[in-house]
Amino acid sequence: MLRAMSILLLLLVGSATSRAFCGDGICDDRDVCERSTIADTTEATLRVRGVPLPVGDERVRFSGRFRFESSDFVDPAVAGLRFSLHGEISSDAETQITPMIAARIPGGAGWRSSNGRWHFRDAKGLNGGITTVTLKVIMPAPLVPGDTRMSLAYRIDARRGSYAVTPDMIQQRESPSTPSWGKLVTQMALGSTADGSSTCAQAAFPASITDPPNDLFTVPCERDRRGDTFTCSTRRP
């Protein structure tokens, strides 16, 4: 009986590990918010430099456009910003998750704002290794009559952490017989946990045939000729 209970406990722990990501109602330290059905990131590019060994000298840059309901906006210089990055390697049996960034940047110190622009700087990267964040209000083009969402151009740089991306994490699932496939997943939201998830946008790179339809617009990640940099992006509108 004791052996059977031990096996059951191991199965339950393994199941929780493979499912521990936002979007299924389970959030932990590798996540920063529950994904919104309205907020999204478009024209997004995720670039990781310094991929080869040694681990710890990688640099991450995430840029694009961030869209959400205007009524959900909170001032990042006052309320802060959340950002996360993790890698996944999946097979039919399990999903292995590698946390990289789970930053909850508070408002106040480090932030400057003026005329629809916000800039955060922390040379020490005390929040998940993030050293700079730049946000700017933009007018989306073309304008859609009745659209109540606002757009921010954003750029997030991190260089004070370990972001060990491996080729398995950007392997695309090309057919049902593909033995394993991967993805890099980002999340970002305005404000703190107290501000909820109304601005929580999630992007997954690359797309695979089993992902939700909105992820099928993702361009597969590429590695440069020197093997030093991974670049992932979404298609232009």
Q: Is 70 a domain residue?
A: yes
User: Sorting pLDDT into bands at 50, 70 and 90, what band is 9?
Assistant: very low
Give the Cα separation of 208 and 173 in Å (integer). Answer: 5
The least confident of 21-35, 42-56, 118-132, 155-169 is 21-35
- Nearest CA-CA partner of 219 in 4, 11, 75, 45: 45
Q: Is 15 a domain residue?
A: no
User: Which stretch of DSSP H or E encloses residue 154?
Assistant: strand 149-158
Taking 90 as the threshold, does the pLDDT of residue 104 lie above it?
yes
What residue numbers bound the domain in which 130 lies? Answer: 29-234
Give the Cα separation of 159 and 177 in Å (integer). Answer: 37
Q: Is 88 a domain residue?
A: yes
| Residue 53: predicted pLDDT | 67
User: Sorting pLDDT into bands at 50, 70 and 90, what band is 171?
Assistant: confident
Does residue 89 contact residue 66 with C-beta atoms inside 8 Å? no
Q: How many domains does the chain have?
A: 1
Q: Is 141 a domain residue?
A: yes
Taking 50 as the threshold, does the pLDDT of residue 8 lie above it?
no
Contacts of 35 (CB under 8 A, 6+ apart): 22, 23, 187, 197, 200, 201, 202
The least confident of 12-26, 76-90, 170-184 is 12-26
Q: Is 215 a domain residue?
A: yes
Q: Is 12 a domain residue?
A: no
* Mean pLDDT (whole number) for 49-61: 80
Q: Is 182 a domain residue?
A: yes
Taking 70 as the threshold, does the pLDDT of residue 6 lie above it?
no
Q: Is 18 a domain residue?
A: no
Q: Backbone phi, then psi, for 50, in 5-degree steps?
A: 75, 35
Fill in the amino acid letter for 83.
Answer: F
Q: What is the pTM of this model?
A: 0.81
Look up residue 54 and give its DSSP letter.
S
Give the Cα separation of 26 and 6 in Å (integer). Answer: 23
Taking 50 as the threshold, does the pLDDT of residue 23 lie above it?
no
